[in-house]
């Protein structure tokens, strides 16, 4: 067999092989992406069999749009979050660790409406602190089985004697608080700060107490306070901590409680 004839045969085989594999290659390119068997345009009832809303971390609805966040992996300790966006009863898409969406969902459920709608500096500070704390700590404080509830108290007007904050739930919401909860009570006076920076220092400090489980001991000591301050500096809130000390810290003539070492 001549070299020319052999070359013709090889070229023919290659061409035939290309024809055979081309349809599969195209199919791969247009195949719908999936996440744990969820795919775009999946009907809500079918999606809910894989991801029941009762197991969600948070849920948010706006007209025909729904955002539902779950722990990832679905079973076992959470490492990430997965947020699915549904529109008109079908899956539109999803995002892994979409922190901004999760924070919006979480605060909408576990923060008082008084803060969200009437205290913009506190609201801004809350959002920023939740956005910046490390992932493992974020997943812990936003775990609905032991959530952090954020509410306000008033130090002026008749509301200083008594006021009510409402956490609203529906029949379809996932169970919350079955392993306890933490309540952070913020003075309305915080919103009078010139900026949100010192408020961030206060909020980060309170969340640090939650991560360090200080309140579970029944009494928070000066050493616990120092540990919380060390943790928020580790988180990257050093400047906010200093701003909080300058504005809200001990003033001349105030009784001495705890000192930093």
What are the tens digits of pLDDT across the range 125-162? 999 999 999 999 999 999 999 999 999 988 878 877 88
Question: Residue 237 CB: number of other CB atoms within 10 A?
Answer: 26
pLDDT for residue 95 is more than 70: yes
For the chain, give the mean pLDDT. Answer: 85
pLDDT at 175: 87
Q: What is the mean pLDDT of residues 105-118?
A: 92
Name every residue whose Cβ is closer than 8 Å to that of residue 174 and which is 6 or more positions away in sequence. Answer: 53, 54, 55, 56, 57, 59, 144
The burial class, CB within 10 Å (0-12 / 13-18 / 19+), for 115 is buried
**How far is it, in rounded angstroms, from Cα 176 to Cα 259?**
37
pLDDT band with cut points at 50, 70 and 90 for residue 24: very low
Distance (Å, rounded) from C-alpha 212 to C-alpha 200? 18
Instruction: Name the strand (E) or helix (H) holding 121.
Output: helix 120-132
Binning pLDDT at 50, 70 and 90, where does residue 165 land? Answer: confident
* pLDDT above 80: residue 110: yes
Q: pTM of this prediction?
A: 0.81
**Residue 5 — very low, low, confident or very high, per pLDDT cuts 50/70/90?**
low
Question: What is the pLDDT at residue 158?
Answer: 82
pLDDT value at residue 215: 82
**Residue 255 clears pLDDT 60, i.e. is over it:** no
φ/ψ of 50, rounded to 5, equals: -85, -40
Statement: residue 15 has pLDDT above 80: no
User: 132: which 2 tokens?
Assistant: 């910046």
Number of neighbouring beta carbons within 10 Å of residue 190 = 22
Who wins on pLDDT, 27 or 49?
A: 49
CA distances from 178 to 80, 107, 144 (A): 21, 19, 8
């Amino acid at each position: 067999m001549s070299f020319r004839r052999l070359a013709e045969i090889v070229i023919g085989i290659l061409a035939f092989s290309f024809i055979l594999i081309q349809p599969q290659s195209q199919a791969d390119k247009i195949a719908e992406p999936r996440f744990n068997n969820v795919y775009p345009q999946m009907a809500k009832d079918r999606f809910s069999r894989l991801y029941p809303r009762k197991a969600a971390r948070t849920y948010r609805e706006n007209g025909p749009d729904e955002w539902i966040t779950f722990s990832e992996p679905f079973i076992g300790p959470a490492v990430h979050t997965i947020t699915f966006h549904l529109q008109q009863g079908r899956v539109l898409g999803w995002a892994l660790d979409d922190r901004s969406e999760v924070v919006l969902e979480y605060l909408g459920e576990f923060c008082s409406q008084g803060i969200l709608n009437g205290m913009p500096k506190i609201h801004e500070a809350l959002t920023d602190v939740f956005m910046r704390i490390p992932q493992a700590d974020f997943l812990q404080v936003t775990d609905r089985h032991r959530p952090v509830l954020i509410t306000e108290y008033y130090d002026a007007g008749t509301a200083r004697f008594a006021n009510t904050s409402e956490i609203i739930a529906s029949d379809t919401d996932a169970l919350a608080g079955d392993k306890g909860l933490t309540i952070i009570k913020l003075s309305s006076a915080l919103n009078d700060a010139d900026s949100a920076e010192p408020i961030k220092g206060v909020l980060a400090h309170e969340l640090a107490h939650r991560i360090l489980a200080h309140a579970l001991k029944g009494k928070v000591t000066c050493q616990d306070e120092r540990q919380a301050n060390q943790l928020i500096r580790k988180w990257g809130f050093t400047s906010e901590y200093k701003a909080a000390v300058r504005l809200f810290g001990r003033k001349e003539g105030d009784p001495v409680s705890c000192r930093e070492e």
